[in-house]
Amino acid sequence: MNVLSNKIIVEFDEEKGKLIFCTVDSDPPKHRLEIAKDTLMSMSFSEASQFLGERLVLLNPHLREIYKDYFWSPDGSPPKKT
């Protein structure tokens, strides 16, 4: 299953107490990532901003391509940039 998508909805589900990332390339949209409110509350604003931004980059194939030199390669080679 490919979890990458160019179209992502981010919503906070008050009932579940989670921030949910859904892809919209399927009908109905599929949940790809859920982050608990407690997890977010344990972070500073700066930490949460970085954490959430990184998740968006990782879920979007075009952004992954732009920043691919910052990721570990599938063969275990370290990132080319840090």
Stronger pLDDT, 69 or 30, i.e. the higher one? 69
What residue segments make up the domains of the chain, in order of their start?
A: 8-70
pTM of the model: 0.78
pLDDT digits (tens, 9 = 90+) for 31-51: 778 999 999 999 999 999 999
Question: What letter does residue 5 receive in the DSSP assignment?
Answer: -
How much is the mean pLDDT over the chain? 90
Q: What are phi and psi of 48, to 5 degrees?
A: -65, -40
pLDDT digits (tens, 9 = 90+) for 22-33: 888 777 777 778
pLDDT at 32: 77
Find the mean pLDDT for residues 47-72: 93
Strand ranges of the sheet holding 18-23, from the earlier edge strand across to the other edge: 8-13, 18-23, 30-36
pLDDT at 1: 57
